[in-house]
Amino acid sequence: MKVLKIATAGSVDDGKSTLIGRILYDTKSLTDDKLEAIEEKSRQRGFDYLDFSLATDGLVAEREQGITIDVAHIYFSTPSKSFIIADTPGHIEYTRNMVTGASTAQASIVLIDARNGVIEQTYRHFFINNLLRIKDVVIAINKMDLVDFSEEKYNTIKNEIEYLASKSEYKGQNLTFIPMSALQGDNVVHKSENTPWYKGETLMHHLEKLEPEDINDTSQTRFPVQTVIRPKTEEYHDFRGYAGKIYGGDLEIGDEVAVLPSQTKSRIKSINFFDKEYARVKRGSSVTITLEDNVNVSRGDMLVKVDEQPTIAKQLDATICWMDKEPLKASQKYYIKHGVNDAQAKITQLSSLIKTDFSGIEENPSELVLNQIGDIQLKLSKPLAFDAYKNNKSNGSFILINPKTNNTVGVGFIK
Amino acid sequence: MNQRTIQVDALESEAIYIFREVVAQFEKPVLLFSGGKDSITLVRLAQKAFYPAKIPFPLMHIDTGHNFPETIEFRDRLAKELGVELIVRDVQDNIDSGRVKEETGRYASRNMLQTETLLDAIEEFGFDACIGGARRDEEKARAKERIFSVRDDFGQWDEKNQRPEVFDMLNGRIDLGQNVRVFPISNWTELDVWSYIEQEKIEIPSIYFAHKRKIFVRDGMIWSADDEVVYRDEEEVVEERMVRFRTVGDMSCTAAVLSDAVDISKVVEEIRDSSISERGARIDDKRSEAAMEKRKQQGYF
C-alpha cells in the first residue's frame, strides 16, 4: 500500500496534537484500549472533553507541560492509503524538531489559531515549508468554534498567507485553506454544518486525494554507494556488488555510468535484488549493482549516467538551518555528511541571516544561533558530487556534525 | 536475459538502506533477536541487504529463561540455517549471582531484568550498534524514537535531546563507551510486518497461529497455564481454548488472544479488523502511563 507522509506545524496551543487525535478518532484508528486510556486520563485530570493530545504526547515531560517536545510519528490507514503523520513541536525552541519531522514529508499541515491569526511562528513554519519545498500545504484555520465560525476571520488569515506565498521563492506549492475545529471535529473528517459558507473539502478528503510520491521529483539519476558487497565464497568468488539506494531517476543494464568523483567510466552489468536479477531499477529502490569493468568504487562514491553529471567541487554555497545551542560562526570546522558521503568542512563565509518573517536579510551577521537560518559558504576537504536542492532534494542537502560533540548541528540546502 | 523492472517497496527499501548504513558506519554491530515476528522480519531484511554475502553481524538473544519453548527451538534453527553466529546471554545468570532481584507475585515478570543483561553483553563484546525490531506504532514513547538512537555507558536514552534526523542521513558518530540502538523498521506498522511475512512466505514460530492451549483469564486478559512461569492464584480457573499470541515476549507478561487464525492469511485478516492494539496484551506497558519511557531511559530496548 502507498504511504503518504505528512508533517504538522503550528504554534503552542494551536491544537496540533488534538487535531491528530481527532483524525485518529474520526477515522476509527484508535483501538479500544487506547481510547479507554484516553477517556480515563481525561477524566482523572478533570477535563470536560476527551483530550486527544494524550494519544500522541508520548513523553512524561510533554504530558506534564501539555506541550509537544519532540516529533512523534503516527500511523493510520484509510481503505485507500496509509498515512504517516509527523507531529512536530510548536515551541520556538523546538523548531529544529519541526525541520526533522518535515524533511521527508510530501504534505504539511500548518495550524493557525483563528483567534490569534497569523503570528510570528506561522511565518516561520510557512518559511520552513518553503525552504524544504513541500509540495502540498494545508493551512488549517483551527478553533473556528471560538470565533463563531466567522467567514471574515477565515478570509483575513487566508489573504495574509496568500500574500506571504506571493513573496516566497518557491512557486510550486499547492495551498489549501480549511476552517476547522479539531476539538469538536468540524471539517476534519466530517463536513461541518457550522461553516455553510465554506465550499471546500474536509481535511481528510483533501489528504485522501493526494497521490503519494517520492519527495524527490523525477530528475537525473544518482546512485550513492553505501557499501561494497564481496561475499568471498566459492560460488560468488568474483562478485563485487555496489549496494545503494537509487535517487532521481532509473538505471538499466548496459547504461554507461561514471564513477564520481574519479570520472572512471563503465557500464551496468547487473542489477540485483536479493536472489534475483533485473533489467531495470526504479528510483527509490535499495539494490545492488555490478559493473562491466573492474573499477575502483568505494563508499561515498556516486554512480551517475555519463550525460547527467552533477556539480563536482570542493566548495559550495548553501542555506543552513542551525540546530545547536552553540552558535555557528565563520571559520569554524565541522564534519559534513552529504548523503552517505563524509568530509570535513570549514565555514568560509556567513553571508546573511534570513529573516523568517519574509522581511528580508541581515548581511554579514557575526553568528547564527539555534533555529536561525542563513546563507553560508563551505570549503570541503575533498570534492563532493552534489546538485542544487531545488533540482534534487537528496543530493542537494547535507548535515553538519560538531566534531567535539558528534551532534547533528545544522541542515543545509545547496544552492 | 530477463526484462523485468524492480521497484522496491518504500518501507523495505528504507530498512535495507538503514542496515547498510549500520555496517558502513559501525565496527561491531549486533542484531538483537528475540525470536518474535519483528526480529524475524529484521533477519530477512538483513539477508536482502547483503545478499549474496552472509549477514555480516551476529544475532544476540537476551534470554529471560521464560520464553516459549517454540520460540527457542525456532531461534536455534534459524541461526543454523543462515550460518550466522548466535550469542545467547541469560538473565538467570544475573539472578543467580544476586546482581538483580527477581520480582514475585501476581504480576511478576523478568522483562525488566533483561536490561542489565543486555548492558553487560554490550560491554562484554564491545558492540557499538544494536539493531532492534522496535516500531514507532507500538507505543507512544517509541513513537518519539529516532532511527539511530544514541545511548550512553548506562544505556540511557536522553529523550529530550535527540539528534535531528533529516532526510535519510543517519549520523552514527559516537564517543567511546556510547552505543547506538538502530531501528530499521521504525516506520512499519504491525499490519505492515504481517503483510510482509505473508508476502515473503517467512516462517514464524507456531505460537503466532491459533492453537489449543490451557489458559486462565485474569483482568480480562488471557494467560497461558501450560507453564510454571506464569503466576496463577488457586482460584483462577484453567480452561482449554483456541488462542494465539500477537507478541512473543516473556511468557510472564505476554497475554494471548482468542483466535481462529490458523494460518498467515487469516492472521493478516484478523490484524486488519482488530480493535485492540498489539501492546494491549503486554502487561509490562500497563504498569503506568510512562512505563515504556522509564524503561527506555534505563537502557531497556
C-alpha to C-alpha distances, A228 to A244, A291, A351, B51, B59, nearest whole angstrom: 9, 12, 39, 11, 22
pLDDT tier for residue B224 given thresholds of 50, 70 and 90: confident
Q: A191 - beta bridge partners?
A: none
pTM as predicted: 0.91
Distance from CA of A246 to the nearest CA of B (A): 10
Q: Do A245 and B50 touch (CB under 8 A)?
A: no
Bridge partners of B87?
A: B60
Q: Which residues contact B234 (CB under 8 A, 6 or more apart)?
A: none
Closest partner CB to B162 (pick from A70, A277, A399) = A70
Q: How many CA atoms lie within 13 A of A8 on its CB side?
A: 34
Contact A222, A395 (CB under 8 A): yes
Cα(B85)–Cα(B58) distance, integer angstroms: 5
Distance of CA B196 to the CA centre of its chain: 16
Q: Closest to A243 (Cβ–Cβ): which among B20, B142, B189?
A: B20
CA distance B94 to chain A (A): 30
Q: From CA A270, how far away is CA A390, in angstroms rounded?
A: 31
Record: contact A104-B16, CB cut-off 8 A: no
The answer to whether A229 contacts B53, with C-beta atoms less than 8 Å apart, is yes
Cβ within 8 Å of A, B 31-60: 47-54
Query: What DSSP character marks residue A190?
Result: B
Q: What is the mean predicted confidence (pLDDT) over B266-279?
A: 77
The pLDDT confidence band at residue B297, using thresholds 50, 70 and 90, is low
Q: Minimal Cα–Cα distance from A400 to chain B, Å?
A: 10
Strands A174-179 and B129-131: unpaired
Distance from CA of A271 to the nearest CA of B (A): 9
- In this model, does residue A55 exceed pLDDT 50? yes
State how far the Cα of B236 lies from the Cα of B217, in Å rounded to an integer: 7
Q: Do B52 and A96 touch (CB under 8 A)?
A: no
Question: Residue range B209-217: average pLDDT?
Answer: 91
ipTM above 0.90, yes or no: yes
Predicted confidence at residue A350, as pLDDT, reads 97
Q: Is the pLDDT of residue B286 over 50?
A: no
The angle formed by the CA atoms of residues A256, A257 and A262, to the nearest 5 degrees, is: 140
Give the pLDDT mean for B55-63: 95
pLDDT higher for B139 or A307? Answer: A307
Instruction: Say how many C-beta atoms besides its own lie within 10 A of residue A91's C-beta.
Output: 15
| Eight-class DSSP state of B278 | G
CA-based nearest distance A244→chain B, Å: 7
Phi, psi for B11 (deg, rounded to 5): -70, -40
Whether residues B7 and A285 touch (CB distance < 8 A) is answered with: yes
Q: Give CA–CA dist A114/A137, Å, rounded.
A: 17
pLDDT over 70, % of chain A: 93
What is the pLDDT of chain A when averaged over all its residues? 90
Question: What is the phi/psi pair of residue A382, to 5°?
Answer: -155, 160
A121/A394: higher pLDDT: A394
pLDDT top residue among A85 and B58? B58
Residue A12 pLDDT class (50, 70, 90 cuts): confident
pLDDT at B103 over 90: no
Residue appearing with cell numbers 484516553: A38
Answer with the residue of higher pLDDT: A219 or A191: A191
If contacts are CB pairs under 8 Å, which of residues 110-169 in chain B contact chain A? 136-137, 139-144, 159-160, 162-169
Contact check, Cβ <8 Å, B24/A226: yes
Q: Which of B47, B167, B288 to mutate to test the interface with A (most CBs of A within 10 A)?
A: B167
What chain A residue is nearest to B175 in terms of C-alpha separation?
A406
